[in-house]
Amino acid sequence: MPTPRILSGIKPTGKPHLGNFFGMMQPAIAWQERGEAFYFIADYHALTTVHDPAALREYTRGVALDFLACGLDPARAVLWRQSDVPEVTELTWLLSCVTPMPMLENCHAYKDHVAREKVPSHGLFAYPVLMAADILLFDSNIVPVGRDQKQHVEVTRDIASAFNRLYKSDLFVIPESSILPTVATIPGLDGQKMSKSYGNTIELFDEEKTMRKKIMSIITDSTPVEGPKDPATSSILGLYRLVAEESAILQMEEEFRIGGVGYGDFKKRLFGTLWEYFAPQRARRAELERDPGHIDRVLADGAHRARAVAEKTMARVRAAVGLK
Ligand code: AMP
């Protein structure tokens, strides 16, 4: 079987949080050992919500720093800023022309937005088409994402198939999403999906005091210390399962069931384990911060390598549709 091409992206809309890490960054880092890994910082996508240029630049560098600190290896994976490969916007237009509006009207990110009585921008509405272009531009086979992005990868498959049918060709590779069941949706402080837009995130590299405070603020029910608690629905356990040893998880689950330990104690245990878990990444991050030029070099090299692939795809696509 040929080496798979793996592609994924992360929006620089703030500092990466545990949902980003376990849902996408960690699987992406694991995939870099098994195929040709292409990962980008989705600054065009971030523009649907970030309208402060200084913040966008800062978040973009921050995501690169955090990703490298977590183990992204630029020798194995291509890491670039989405806007450094502007071919993706041209492909977005070509794909838009074969994308039925009802398909986009059915996308949950758009529907959620409307349900919250916000007025969506055209960018937010069309965002799955830009995501399709991200994926198809690089002939990607596998897209490691959290469950929230599964629908958008399916949209990509539909758009690619429609395009291939229309132009009677195999222009685009049909990609597949890869979602690890254990990390499909990481819960936030309030038990909903952890998300910047819900304000319930725990950032990977928060200060110790901040992280402790956030963990202690996880919302629980009002079961008293002595009462049995439900291990299936707890965000404390949901997060603990991601970072603790098997035996420690089993012990916490048992203590939930039999009662006698309060949520405060469970939260302290979660904080301690989480803080330890990210100690090596924190050390690497501190080291990387001492050489700010390193991030620029990684991103410039990534842009160069990504653009070489993008240009080839675009030449093929332009010829197929009759632009050249
Ligand atoms: P975004 O910040 O929306 O660009 O997300 C980057 C990646 O993180 C995507 O693959 C998402 O699916 C993933 N992700 C974000 N939040 C969560 C979450 N709470 N649980 C699992 N994956 C997530």
Query: Stretch 21-27: mean pLDDT, rounded?
Result: 94
Which atom of ligand 1 lies at the shortest distance from residue 187's CA? 19
> Is 213 in the same domain as 100?
no
| 323: number of Cβ within 10 Å | 10
Task: Tell me the per-residue pLDDT of 136-157, one tens digit each, with 9 for 90 and over.
Answer: 999 999 999 888 889 999 999 9
> Is 96 in the same domain as 160?
yes
Measured between alpha carbons, how far is 220 from 205 in angstroms, rounded to an integer? 24
Sheet of 77-81, strand order: 77-81, 36-41, 5-10, 142-144, 176-178
In the reported structure, the alpha carbon of residue 23 is separated from the centroid of ligand 1 by a whole-number distance in angstroms of: 6
> Is 18 in the same domain as 125?
yes
Q: Which of 137-141, 181-185, 219-223, 311-315 has the lowest mean pLDDT?
A: 181-185
- For residue 284, is it within any domain? no
Which one of 8, 18, 22, 24 would you pick to mutate in the ligand 1 pocket, going by the greatest count of ligand atoms within 8 A of its CB?
Answer: 24
Whichever domain contains 11, its CATH number is: 3.40.50.620
CB 146 within 8 A of CB 178: no
- For residue 201, is it within any domain? no
| pLDDT mean across residues, the chain | 95
Q: Which of 9-23, 175-189, 249-263, 295-309 has the lowest mean pLDDT?
A: 175-189
User: In this structure, which residue's CA is closest to atom 5 in ligand 1?
Assistant: 10
Query: Stretch 60-79: mean pLDDT, rounded?
Result: 98
Query: Stretch 303-309: mean pLDDT, rounded?
Result: 98
Which one of 81, 135, 149, 203 would you pick to mutate in the ligand 1 pocket, going by the greatest count of ligand atoms within 8 A of its CB?
Answer: 149
In the reported structure, the alpha carbon of residue 246 is separated from the centroid of ligand 1 by a whole-number distance in angstroms of: 25
The answer to whether residue 183 scores a pLDDT higher than 80 is no
User: Residue 272: which domain range?
Assistant: 206-277
List C-alpha distances in Å: 315 to 85, 165, 184, 318, 322.
14, 19, 36, 5, 11
pLDDT at 118: 83
| 151: number of Cβ within 10 Å | 15
> Is 219 in the same domain as 306?
no
Whichever domain contains 262, its CATH number is: 1.10.240.10
> Is 124 in the same domain as 252?
no
> Is 52 in the same domain as 147?
yes
> Is 97 in the same domain as 31?
yes
The answer to whether residue 113 scores a pLDDT higher than 90 is no
Angle between helices 263-277 and 208-216 (to 10 degrees): 150
- DSSP structure string for 11-55: --SSS-BHHHIIIIIHHHHHHTTTSEEEEEE-HHHHTTT---HHH
> Is 296 in the same domain as 273?
no
Which atom of ligand 1 lies at the shortest distance from residue 146's CA? 12
Beta carbons within 8 Å of 268's beta carbon, 6+ residues apart = 216
Please provide residue 80's backbone torsions phi and psi, each rounded to the nearest 5 degrees: -145, 165
Residue 99 banded pLDDT, cuts 50, 70, 90:
very high
Residue 182 per-residue DSSP state:
G
- For residue 84, is it within any domain? yes
> Is 101 in the same domain as 130?
yes
Task: Tell me the per-residue pLDDT of 239-265, one tens digit each, with 9 for 90 and over.
Answer: 999 999 999 999 999 999 999 999 999
Single out the residue of 258, 265, 257 nearest to residue 236, CA to CA. 265
List C-alpha distances in Å: 10 to 45, 63, 183, 283.
9, 8, 16, 23
Which atom of ligand 1 lies at the shortest distance from residue 147's CA? 12
Measured between alpha carbons, how far is 6 from 11 in angstroms, rounded to an integer? 17
Angle between helices 122-137 and 87-96 (to 10 degrees): 110
In the reported structure, the alpha carbon of residue 109 is separated from the centroid of ligand 1 by a whole-number distance in angstroms of: 12
In the reported structure, the alpha carbon of residue 20 is separated from the centroid of ligand 1 by a whole-number distance in angstroms of: 4
pLDDT at 314: 97
In the reported structure, the alpha carbon of residue 286 is separated from the centroid of ligand 1 by a whole-number distance in angstroms of: 24
CB 92 within 8 A of CB 135: no
Q: What residue ranges line ligand 1, CB within 6 angstroms? A: 10-11, 19-20, 23-24, 42, 145-146, 148-149, 185-186, 193-195
Q: Which of 6-20, 47-61, 112-126, 253-267 has the lowest mean pLDDT?
A: 112-126
In the reported structure, the alpha carbon of residue 192 is separated from the centroid of ligand 1 by a whole-number distance in angstroms of: 13
In the reported structure, the alpha carbon of residue 21 is separated from the centroid of ligand 1 by a whole-number distance in angstroms of: 8
Measured between alpha carbons, how far is 123 from 108 in angstroms, rounded to an integer? 15
The answer to whether residue 182 scores a pLDDT higher than 90 is no
Task: Tell me the per-residue pLDDT of 41-58, one tens digit each, with 9 for 90 and over.
Answer: 999 999 999 999 999 999
In the reported structure, the alpha carbon of residue 263 is separated from the centroid of ligand 1 by a whole-number distance in angstroms of: 27
Residue 1 banded pLDDT, cuts 50, 70, 90:
low
User: In this structure, which residue's CA is closest to atom 16 in ligand 1?
Assistant: 19
The total of structural domains in the chain comes to: 2
Query: Stretch 295-314: mean pLDDT, rounded?
Result: 98
Residue 5 per-residue DSSP state:
E
- For residue 239, is it within any domain? yes
